């Protein structure tokens, strides 16, 4: 079997208005020496109102403004693409690329006109605006950039889109079997070219309606393509970032940071759930659920020799029992009667409501057993408060909670990890509200109040203890 690398480039990897594209070209030329390459793109970054913003965020803001009756055009959406087009030296390719940009933004204008008329920006109109202005357009523009650099490349057009989803238009779910049936044209394109480009985050129903994953969904697109191609190619997924994985977020912790060279699927999924921006945990969930095993590489684009390899069972343990210390703000705790909680869990699973949650230790009040559910997205709970409380009139919700999480499949081999971590948090002047430490989970959860910089202080306190934790 031939080799295939599915390489995902997020907005930060592309840089503001495409400034890092020369580095991408260099990287692709390296990757294609030994493999076919599929490039998955997020929407580009630009500067808007003096702030660095993703074009997806800008498009969403424009859509919401138009929904309120403002007549907002698409010129701001054109800006990053125009700067990227100027990198294309071939005049014919440049002209062709400009026509594509005009065509897509005209479609975006049609969508905005529809939003203005109906005063509604949701579901299909939302998905269409994001598709036409962001990821898909970016993949077309990058295809011209690659061609102008002498690379034999092609773009995957939307009419043969291989990522088929259900009809949950704004938070779609991947349908593997239906997608497999739509792969013929994409496979042919890959056979005839060295590199393909595709927009992440965007899906398509069986009926051809545009859908979107939840934010961060471009990671899922890369995983989905890996699932689809894994039977015909030796496949690996390569996430191009500004750093490989470290033992904590370098924006929070400055001292004693360690490069993490190896993670299990489980460790990476937990880290993603609890605030470490490695990759979307649902991407790993989909790989596991589809019975596929392939290496996932996190590459430091500036120093491609610096990598973190994620495998089902890593070949080495990185020499440390506590791989990562991370934190998550804006969490919520739902206290709900036990029987009602089981109905809630069934509903969440049946409707594929993918907000991440963890079940904490139960408690009893007035002879009634209650379940504690830690939701890792407080905004999700606020949006669905009525739905959640509908399962139990006695349920209650607490917002403004934060979580410090210690991650490592081998932590169970070390004595007193939980007690040492909690002691350091207490010494930092922070109150622990709940702790969950179980051998089977590969993680220790410490819940504190999310106030000011409390989460950052707690992460730094626990990470400072990390160097003293050793295998027995």
Q: What is the pLDDT of residues 54-100, one digit of tens each?
A: 998 899 999 999 999 988 888 889 999 999 999 998 999 999 999 99
Rounded to an integer, what distance in angstroms lies between the CA atom of residue 43 and that of residue 57?
A: 9
Same domain, 221 and 330: no
pLDDT value of residue 471: 58
Task: Using alpha carbons, select from 333, 304, 319 the residue that is nearest to residue 242.
Answer: 304
pLDDT value of residue 314: 75
Of 241, 261, 286, at which residue does a domain stop? 241
Q: Please report, for the domain that includes residue 409, its CATH number.
A: 3.30.2130.10
pLDDT value of residue 353: 63
Q: Which residues neighbour 256 within 8 Å (Cβ) at sequence distance 6 or greater?
A: 247, 463, 464, 466, 467
Q: Which residues of the chain have pLDDT under 50?
A: none
Same domain, 332 and 461: yes
Of 241, 268, 297, at which residue does a domain stop? 241
Same domain, 237 and 331: no
Q: Where does residue 171 rank: exposed (0-12), middle (13-18), buried (19+ CB within 10 A)? A: middle
Rounded to an integer, what distance in angstroms lies between the CA atom of residue 194 and that of residue 399?
A: 50
Task: Please report whether residue 35 resides in a domain.
Answer: yes
Task: Please report whether residue 137 resides in a domain.
Answer: yes
Of 241, 276, 297, at which residue does a domain stop? 241
Q: Which residues neighbour 211 within 8 Å (Cβ) at sequence distance 6 or greater?
A: 127, 165, 166, 167, 168, 169, 170, 172, 202, 203, 204, 205
Q: Report the DSSP pairing between strands 36-41 and 3-9.
A: parallel
Please give the residue range of the domain that contains residue 121. 3-241
Here the tokens at position 173 are: 């779910």
Task: Please report whether residue 274 resides in a domain.
Answer: no
Task: Please report whether residue 316 resides in a domain.
Answer: no
Domain count, the chain: 2
Q: Report the DSSP pairing between strands 195-199 and 153-155.
A: parallel
């Amino acid at each position: 079997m031939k080799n295939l690398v599915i390489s995902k480039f997020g907005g930060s990897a592309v840089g503001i208005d495409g400034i890092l594209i020369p580095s991408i070209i260099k990287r692709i030329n390296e990757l294609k020496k030994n493999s076919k390459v599929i490039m998955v793109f997020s929407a580009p970054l630009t500067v808007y109102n003096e702030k660095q913003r993703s074009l997806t965020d800008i498009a969403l803001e424009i859509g919401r403004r138009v929904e309120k009756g403002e007549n907002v055009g698409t010129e701001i959406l054109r800006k990053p693409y125009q700067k990227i087009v100027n990198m294309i030296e071939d005049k014919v390719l440049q002209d062709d690329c400009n026509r594509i940009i005009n065509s897509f933004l005209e479609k975006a204008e049609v969508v905005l006109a529809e939003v203005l008329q109906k005063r509604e920006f949701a579901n299909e109109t939302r998905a269409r605006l994001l598709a036409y202005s962001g990821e898909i357009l970016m993949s077309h523009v990058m295809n011209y950039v690659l061609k102008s650099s002498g690379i034999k490349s092609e773009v995957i057009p939307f009419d043969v889109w291989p990522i088929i989803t259900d009809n949950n238009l704004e938070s779609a779910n991947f349908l593997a079997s239906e997608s497999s049936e739509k792969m013929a044209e994409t496979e042919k394109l890959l056979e005839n070219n060295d590199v393909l480009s595709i927009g992440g985050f965007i899906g398509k129903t069986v009926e051809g309606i545009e859908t979107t994953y939840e934010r961060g969904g471009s990671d899922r697109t890369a995983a989905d393509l890996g699932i689809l191609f894994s039977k015909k190619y030796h496949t690996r997924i390569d996430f191009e970032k500004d750093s490989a994985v470290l033992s904590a977020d370098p924006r929070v912790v400055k001292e004693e940071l360690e490069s993490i060279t190896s993670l299990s699927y489980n460790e990476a999924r937990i880290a993603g759930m609890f605030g470490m921006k490695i990759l979307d945990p649902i991407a790993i969930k989909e790989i596991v659920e589809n019975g596929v095993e392939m290496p996932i590489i996190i590459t430091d684009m500036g120093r491609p020799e610096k990598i973190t390899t994620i495998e089902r069972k890593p070949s080495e343990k990185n020499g440390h029992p506590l791989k990562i210390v991370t934190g998550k703000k804006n969490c919520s705790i739902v206290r709900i009667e036990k029987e009602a909680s089981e109905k809630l869990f069934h509903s969440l699973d049946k409707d594929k409501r993918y907000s991440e949650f963890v079940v904490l230790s139960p408690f009893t009040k007035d002879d009634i057993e209650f379940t504690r559910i830690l939701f890792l997205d407080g905004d999700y709970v606020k949006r669905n408060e009525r739905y959640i409380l509908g399962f139990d009139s006695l349920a209650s919700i607490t917002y403004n909670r934060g979580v410090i999480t210690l991650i490592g499949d081998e932590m169970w081999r070390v004595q007193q990890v939980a007690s040492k971590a909690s002691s350091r948090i207490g010494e930092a002047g922070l109150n622990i509200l709940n702790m969950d430490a179980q051998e089977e989970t590969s993680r220790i959860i410490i819940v504190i109040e999310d106030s000011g910089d409390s989460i950052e202080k707690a992460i730094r306190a626990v990470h400072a203890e990390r160097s003293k934790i050793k295998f027995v």
